[in-house]
Structure 1
Amino acid sequence: MADDIAMGKRTGAFPWRWVGWGLAGTLLLLPLAAMQVTSEVNWDGTDFLFAAIVFGLVGGLIELAVWRSTSWIYRAGVFVAVACGFLQTWISGAVGIIGGEENPADILYLAVVAVAIVGSLLALGRPRGMVWAMLAAAAVEIAVPFLAVALIPEAKDVAQDAKVAVLTGGFTAMWLAAAMLFRRAARAGTA
């Protein structure tokens, strides 16, 4: 029955899949609605396509975790990791973390997400390997502001900003939370 609920089959349980995909669709429609009332939001077809692809990837990864595992701890780890990667990519691309979105230092934050993705692929999604992938992502997350200061002259003033420290700390905490959840799943022998 747990698998039926997780997969969204009709069992009389709350349809979590529909809520998740409905939320993604609603988030995709919000900019369209905002464009009707303000000129501050100005998305074109490319923006909507990019958002649809990103939301599809996020939803697809969560669906894969639900399909692959019956462990709620493992699923929570995937959810936290996917949410962290999504938020980091979205914030970095939309408004920028170091300075504004035009600051070249923000591209370094894609390395964090890349490390998490490559590590997850190398781990084949197994909880023990996922722990190391998330720890590696957390380490790269911490290193990014320092690398930005060392490598990119435009970033020296803004990389030491309080906003950068808060966001870096928040994202690092999310990567570490995902690692902790995967560690618990590995210890429980569930995946």
Structure 2
Amino acid sequence: MTLPKSLLLVAAVTGLLLLIPLIAMQYTAEVNWTFSDFVFAAVVLFGAGATFVFIARMGNNGTYRLAAAIGVLAGLLLVWANAAVGLVGSSHNPANMLYAAVLFVALGGAIAARFRPLGTSNAMFAAALTYLVVTGIALFVWKPTGNAAEPSAPFLNVLVANVVFAGVWALAGLLFRRAAEPVSGPQVAQ
């Protein structure tokens, strides 16, 4: 599929996904998106889809494309969760801004590696490590207030959720590492 057609498909899927909250708003008061919510979601969803399209085109096998999909999904989930509820405390907690470093490490490392599988693998592992370091710093700095804006979430819940998110980055790293391995055919006994 050509690049323009791929991006058009990403735009169409983004539009279809945005119909879900738009339709839900007609039937329930629980979903109450503003115009800026739709703009934010459109930018994030289209940006993630376009990023996947560009990165996946640089690989030559299914493992590379799967690794790219998981890496982009990890970035999408990081941005979405951080904007929606916050990864540490509420979404208004300034410690959550530290997680931008994870995206910079992942994308910056992949760009520096020219998206070659081994270098991109290292970037994903570095992003996972950065994620854990940022979580440690944020948890050290974060002091839950217990009020409605900043509920007192159990420390273990926050820690486990963040370790799982870091694991998604590590999984992308493992898959990129696997994509770097040469493909060998079946061994013939002699």
Q: Deviations over 1:41-66 (max 9, x none)?
A: 22222211111111111111121133
2:20, 2:163 → 1: CA distance?
29
Partner of 1:90: 80
- Counterpart of 1:32 in structure 2 is 22
Compute the displacement of 1:22 (Å).
4.8
SS where residue 101 of structure 1 aligns? coil
Q: Structure 1 residues 100 and 143 mapped into 2: Cα distance closer, same or farther (>3 Å)?
A: same
Aligned to 1:12: none
Percent sequence identity over matched residues?
A: 37
| Structure 2 unpaired stretches of 5+ | 146-150, 184-190
Number of equivalences: 177
Partners in 2 of 1:178 and 1:74 — Cα distance? 9
Q: How far apart are 1:172 and its partner, in Å?
A: 1.5
Deviates more, 1:28-37 or 1:71-80: 28-37
Aligned partner of 1:3 in structure 2 is none
2:36 paired residue among 39, 46, 60 = 46
How far apart, in 2, do the equivalents of 1:132 and 1:160 lie?
32
| Correspondence for 2:167 among 168, 173, 177 | 173
User: TM-score, normalization: structure 1?
Assistant: 0.80
Q: Is the 8 A contact 2:56 2:64 kept in 1?
A: no
Contact 2:132 2:166 in 1 (8 A): yes
Q: CA deviation at 1:19?
A: 7.5
Structure 1 residue 78: Cα displacement = 0.5
RMSD of aligned Cα (Å): 2.7
CA–CA separation in structure 2 for the residues paired with 1:97 and 1:149:
10
Q: Is the 8 A contact 1:128 1:183 kept in 2?
A: yes
Q: Greater Rg, structure 1 or structure 2?
A: 2
Spell out the pairing of 1:11-30 with structure 2 (5 A cutoff).
22-30=12-20
Q: What pairs with 1:176-187 in structure 2 (closer than 5 Å)?
A: 176-187=170-181
* Residues in 2 aligned to 1:158 and 1:177: alpha-carbon distance in whole angstroms: 30
Instruction: Write out aligned runs for 1:117-128 (5 A).
Output: 117-128=107-118
CA contact (8 A) 1:148 1:159 kept: no
What secondary structure does 1:68 align onto?
Answer: coil
Q: Could you tell me which runs of 5 or more consecutive residues in structure 1 were left unpaired when the two chains were aligned.
A: 1-6, 9-15
TM-score by length of 2: 0.81
Out of 12, 22, 46, the residue aligned to residue 56 of structure 1 is 46
